[in-house]
Structure formats: structure tokens, C-alpha cells
A and B are shown apart, each in its own frame.
Chain A
Amino acid sequence: MNNPQHPSESDLALLAGGEASRVRRLLLDRHVRGCEACQETVAAYRDLRDDVAEGDLPGVNWNFLAPEMRANIQVGLEAGACVGTSPAASRWAVTHSWASAGPRLAVAFATLVLLVVSGFYVRDIRTRPATVPADATPVLESTSTGVGIRIADKSFMLPSHSDTASNQTVSARGDVEARVVDDKGSVTINNVYLQ
């Protein structure tokens, strides 16, 4: 992908994730529409992103963390307000009262910016699961061709052996059992679990 006629790999990854700037996206879209190789690269990055969105940071409750982060910032603001000033600083403050507010204002302003950025970030993370296809419910399947799992349009089947008798039994608990007798006359039982 070092060909100067193709966009860089990082640009294609940003495009796949919907994170390229508007202008850049227009330019990239124009190229990708006419370039089969780049279309494949973008599709591969989209698949990877979907997979990561499904399973990344599984234990983090962002709804819970958002108010906690805001509360921490508030505590920081209040702590800043409680810090006393030296006599020299007080004298300086009398003569430069507007300027004396500068550091506190700067801290407050910086904190406010942090709050806004944090809030934006938290909102962004929370919306990520929406990129997972709605029909991504795992389905356990037992068919005449084999047993396996289907997730959205992806299917991972364990095919039946065409030359041996097979018996498959589905348990409502969430697993399927497939039995085959091999050419040496031994039974092997494979179990596939929904989870």
C-alpha cells in the first residue's frame, strides 16, 4: 500500500471507522469507489472494527463512570477554590484583583474543557455498540450438513462426515451434540456450545 496513487493504510482505516475528516472522507470515498484493492482493505478494517466493538472493554460500565468522572472534576474545582493565598499574593491581589483570578480562572477553564472533552468521549464510547449489527445474536445450528454457530452473516460450521452415520441432538440448555462413528468403529461425540 506504498503506491502513491493509493491512500495510506491509516487513512483507509480511518475511513472504515468513520473517523476521517469530512473533506478527507470525500477524497477517500472518491478513490475507494473506483479501486477494488482499497475497497477490500476498507471492508477488512470494517469487519475488524465490528468484532472489536462487540468484545472490547466488556466489563466497563460507561454510564456509571460518566457521573463519577464529572463528580471528580467538581471535587477538583472545589479543592482549588479552598486553597489559601500568601500575604504577598493577597497584596498583589488587592492591586491586581482581575489578574489574581487568572490562575484560578485558568484552572476552572481547563477543567471545564476537560469536562466537555470527557463528556464527549464518554458519549462516543457509549454509542459504539450501535455499530454492531442488530441481528448479531449467536445462533446454534444443527442441520443435515453439520453443526455450528452463526453470528449475523458469518457461519462457523463443523461439517458432517459424508461417509459415516451421524446423530445430532440439540439441548435447550444451549448446546448441540454430534456423534459419528469413524472408520475404525469408534464413536466420537463433538459438542458445540452457544457460549
Chain B
Amino acid sequence: MSICSKFGAGALWALAAMAGSLLGQDTPLDAANSVKIDLPADAPLNLISTTMGDSRATSRGGAIVLDLHMGLTLRNSGFKHIRGVTLLITAQEFAPGGKGSVARPSIDVPPGENFTLPIDIRLVRPVRESSGPLVRVQLDGVLFDDLSFFGPNKLSSQRALTFWEVEAQRDRSYFKQALQARGENGLRQEILASIAKQADRPQLDVSLTRNGRATGAAVPATDHVAQFAFLNLPGAPVQPLEGWAAISGNEARSPQIEIVNNSGKPVRYVEIGWLVKDKQGREYLAGSVPASETTMVLPSGQHTKLRQDTALKFSRQGRPIEIDGMTAYVSQVEFADGRVWVPSRRDLDSSPLLRITAPSPEEQRLADIYAKQGLAALVAELKRY
């Protein structure tokens, strides 16, 4: 065990991990010694209990792989209904695979009520960093029903939770209107259409690397620079003007898109949905191109460029997808005053292309309730709030 002491890994865990490494064993994690749960003293949440389930740590070479299957039972100790929560889970802050987050949107937890948040995630940390707990769980944010927010917001959880909540309100309202206007049969037709759309949605396998590098050490030659085609949604406050990415076979690198703020208000965040077309003409949702995390304020009428220095490789069922074309549309906008814009249901129905976009978390949840519990459960859920 001389190597452990050489690198300062003095804790018992390093010894266990090294032994595990040599013997190929893994070790169950316990809540008392392996995990530190940090909730701010003034948080509107109290920790009631923690379960570790089948959480385990496995040594692989010089790394510990943490397989977490935890459950946190929390109580809403505030005065407002909670609509969403995000937790930051850290095994090591700055290493790839050392950090993750778990969010629960689309909830309605009244004051004084408990709810359980599952943490099913896999993280990695080096053996040598063995002092202290293996995993740290921190509250990153809580969103309330009036869209106010509490939390350190290190992961921009306020924005993400707000977008999910606004999409949830849009989709709940859509299905409620279907129920009201066309009765249970009308609701059934709508939810069946949603389930069919989700089932038909082709999903790509995507590999992403930073700095425009492909998955090897060398930068591949670029076949050509391809321009984005744009799908302009009628109500979008921001309009894409031009954009391109370097294409090499099934890899697209360093996408950049110029946008203009057509609204009367300053904008501080924009996200662009990115669709790719293969040589056979099939379209797929490739991902999104967000504005950078640094503070951006785009005044009314002004232009800016969204750039991401990453490389994305696309494949499907193990075969590379040769990129033949790319389309982009504005999928999210956040104004400087914190209000957000998302496409309306009418916008999303305006082009057959948008059938391949992902449903909102709420639409996915409502479809799942119908599929597993039937129409009566869905109607009861829509009437809850």
C-alpha cells in the first residue's frame, strides 16, 4: 500500500479502494460516512430521511466509480407550493464525470408536505482524493408556484426549472382545454397522439467533446462548412439570421448562429434547437445550441452570435449518420427581467419538422400516467391543479 501513502491518501477508504482494485471488489455505501447532504439553514426544505438503496463504490484502476441509488425524503418547510427542485451531486468538482445533477420538475408540493427525490446517478472520483465524504449533495434550487426561486443557482437551475414550469403550464392547459371542449374522448385522442409522437421520435446516439476535437487526439479534416436552414416560429422574440458548423462525415464542429432580438425587451439567454438530416432525408433532433453561460444581455434590435466550441458525432444503431443538412429554430428565450418564452403548442404544430422535438417533461409525465394508470387517473391528475 505504499502508493497510497505516497499520494497522501490516508483515509481508510483509499485502503479499501486499493484492495478492491486489486481484488476486483465493490463496497456498499452508507449514508453516515460516505455522503454529506448540505441544505442551507434558511432553505425551504428539511431533510427528513435518507435511504442508500443499492448504492455502491467500485474501484477501477486509480478511480472509484460511485453508483448511487439514493432516496432523499424532504419536507416543504416554506409557505408556498413547490414546483421543482434541483440537487447538485459532486464526487469531484473539476474532473470529467465527477459532477452531476438531479432535478424534479412538474411537482406540486404544498407547505408542510413530504416528497421523495430519487438520486440514480453514476459518478467518478480518483482514489487519492479520499479525505472526507465520497459524495456531496447540495441544494441548487427550489422553484415555487409563483415562479419565485430559492438557492445558490450554480447550475442555472432557476432558468431550467422556470422553462420546465412554463412548458408544464402550457401543456397542462392544452390537455385541460381538450378535456373541457371535447370531453374524455377528446382528451384520449390528444394523449394517444402524444404517445404516438413520442414513440415515433427517432433518437440519435451522440458523442460530444470539447474544443472542437473529435474523439481522438487529432483534429479531423473538415469536408465542408454547412449552413443552417432556419424554421422561424411566428411568436418567437428572437430570430436566427445565419449560422454554420464545420462538417466532416458524421461529425459537426463548432456550431455558431447569429441571432437578432426582435422583441421590445432585452434578452439574457437564448437556446436554439438543432435538427440534422441524413443522406436518406430522415430528420433527427441533434441537440441544442445554447448561449454561453457568461452573462449576455442582448438589447432590443441588436444582433449577437451563439458559439459553442464542441464537436458532436451522430450515429444510430451503431452506424454513423452522414450529415446532409441542418435546421435550427429558437426553442427558449429568457428576458432580462426573468420572464421566459417557449414555443406555443400552435408553434410546435406549425411544421412537421417539429414532430421530432422532445416533449416537455410534463407532457411525458401525463402520457405516462395515461399509459400506466388509464384515462381516469389522467383526468384526476389534470384536475389537481
Are the CB atoms of A172 and B289 closer together than 8 Å? Answer: yes
Are the CB atoms of B120 and A188 closer together than 8 Å? Answer: yes
**A41 at interface (Cβ–Cβ under 8 A)?**
yes
Are the CB atoms of B127 and A48 closer together than 8 Å? Answer: yes
Known: A48-B127, A185-B372. A174 touches B208 (CB 8 A): yes
**A165 at interface (Cβ–Cβ under 8 A)?**
yes
Please report the C-alpha to C-alpha distance between residue A172 and residue B61 in the assembled complex, in whole angstroms.
30
Are the CB atoms of B22 and A189 closer together than 8 Å? Answer: no
Query: Would you give the 0/1 interface string for A153-195, flagging 1 where the beta carbon is closer than 8 Å to chain B?
Result: 0101110000011011111111010010111011111111111
**A71 at interface (Cβ–Cβ under 8 A)?**
no
Are the CB atoms of B61 and A48 closer together than 8 Å? Answer: yes
The distance from the CB of B330 to the nearest CB of chain A, in whole angstroms, is 15
Are the CB atoms of B101 and A190 closer together than 8 Å? Answer: yes
Are the CB atoms of B208 and A185 closer together than 8 Å? Answer: no
Q: Which of A45, A156, A183, A189 is within 8 Å of B3, CB to CB?
A: A45
Q: Write out the residue numbers on chain B whose beta carbons fall within 8 Å of the beta carbon of A192.
A: 97, 100, 121
Are the CB atoms of B287 and A170 closer together than 8 Å? Answer: yes
Please report the C-alpha to C-alpha distance between residue A14 and residue B106 in the assembled complex, in whole angstroms.
56
Q: Write out the residue numbers on chain B whose beta carbons fall within 8 Å of the beta carbon of A2.
A: none
Please report the C-alpha to C-alpha distance between residue A12 and residue B103 in the assembled complex, in whole angstroms.
46
Please report the C-alpha to C-alpha distance between residue A150 and residue B63 in the assembled complex, in whole angstroms.
13
- Smallest Cβ-Cβ distance to A158: which chain B residue: B122
Q: Write out the residue numbers on chain A whose beta carbons fall within 8 Å of the beta carbon of B288.
A: 169-172
**A34 at interface (Cβ–Cβ under 8 A)?**
no
Are the CB atoms of B103 and A188 closer together than 8 Å? Answer: yes
**A13 at interface (Cβ–Cβ under 8 A)?**
yes
Are the CB atoms of B217 and A134 closer together than 8 Å? Answer: yes
Are the CB atoms of B364 and A165 closer together than 8 Å? Answer: yes
Q: Write out the residue numbers on chain A whose beta carbons fall within 8 Å of the beta carbon of B203.
A: 144, 168
The distance from the CB of A98 to the nearest CB of chain B, in whole angstroms, is 46
Known: A149-B97, A158-B122, A174-B310. A137 touches B2 (CB 8 A): no
Q: Which of A151, A181, A186, A191 is within 8 Å of B101, CB to CB?
A: A191
Are the CB atoms of B198 and A165 closer together than 8 Å? Answer: yes
Known: A47-B62, A149-B124. A195 touches B358 (CB 8 A): no
**B376 at interface (Cβ–Cβ under 8 A)?**
no
Are the CB atoms of A137 and B205 closer together than 8 Å? Answer: no
Q: Which of A50, A158, A170, A182 is within 8 Å of B62, CB to CB?
A: A50
The distance from the CB of A10 to the nearest CB of chain B, in whole angstroms, is 6
**A18 at interface (Cβ–Cβ under 8 A)?**
no
**B147 at interface (Cβ–Cβ under 8 A)?**
no
The distance from the CB of A37 to the nearest CB of chain B, in whole angstroms, is 10
**B290 at interface (Cβ–Cβ under 8 A)?**
yes
Known: A154-B60, A174-B208, A188-B120. A167 touches B97 (CB 8 A): no
**A68 at interface (Cβ–Cβ under 8 A)?**
no
**B207 at interface (Cβ–Cβ under 8 A)?**
yes
Known: A143-B205, A189-B103, A193-B99. A172 touches B217 (CB 8 A): no
Query: Would you give the 0/1 interface string for A20-59, flagging 1 where the beta carbon is closer than 8 Å to chain B?
Result: 0000000000000000000011001101111110011000
Question: Which bucket holds chain A's interface residue count?
Answer: 35 or more
Query: Would you give the 0/1 interface string for B95-118, flagging 1 where the beta carbon is closer than 8 Å to chain A?
Result: 111011111111100000000011
Are the CB atoms of A190 and B102 closer together than 8 Å? Answer: yes
Q: Write out the residue numbers on chain B whose beta carbons fall within 8 Å of the beta carbon of A15.
A: none
Please report the C-alpha to C-alpha distance between residue A165 and residue B234 in the assembled complex, in whole angstroms.
31
Are the CB atoms of B368 and A137 closer together than 8 Å? Answer: no
The distance from the CB of A12 to the nearest CB of chain B, in whole angstroms, is 10
Q: Write out the residue numbers on chain B whose beta carbons fall within 8 Å of the beta carbon of A141.
A: 205-208
Known: A144-B203, A172-B287. A185 touches B103 (CB 8 A): no
Q: Which of B210, B285, B368 is within 8 Å of A165, CB to CB?
A: B368
The distance from the CB of A165 to the nearest CB of chain B, in whole angstroms, is 6
Q: Which of A139, A169, A186 is within 8 Å of B207, CB to CB?
A: A139
List 19 A-B pairs, Cβ < 8 Å: A47-B60, A48-B3, A48-B62, A55-B126, A137-B217, A139-B208, A143-B205, A144-B203, A156-B97, A156-B123, A158-B122, A165-B198, A171-B287, A171-B289, A172-B287, A179-B364, A191-B155, A195-B95, A195-B99
Where the two chains meet, the residues of B that have a C-beta atom closer than 8 Å to any C-beta of A are 1-3, 7, 21-22, 60-63, 65, 94-97, 99-107, 117-118, 120-124, 126-128, 155, 198, 203, 205-210, 213, 215-217, 255, 274, 285-290, 292-293, 308, 310, 312, 317, 358-359, 361-362, 364-365, 367-369, 372-373, 381
Q: Given A137-B210, A171-B289, A189-B361, 16 other A-B contacts at CB below 8 A? A: A48-B127, A49-B62, A51-B128, A52-B62, A52-B126, A135-B217, A154-B61, A158-B120, A168-B203, A172-B310, A176-B208, A181-B365, A185-B372, A185-B381, A192-B121, A194-B96
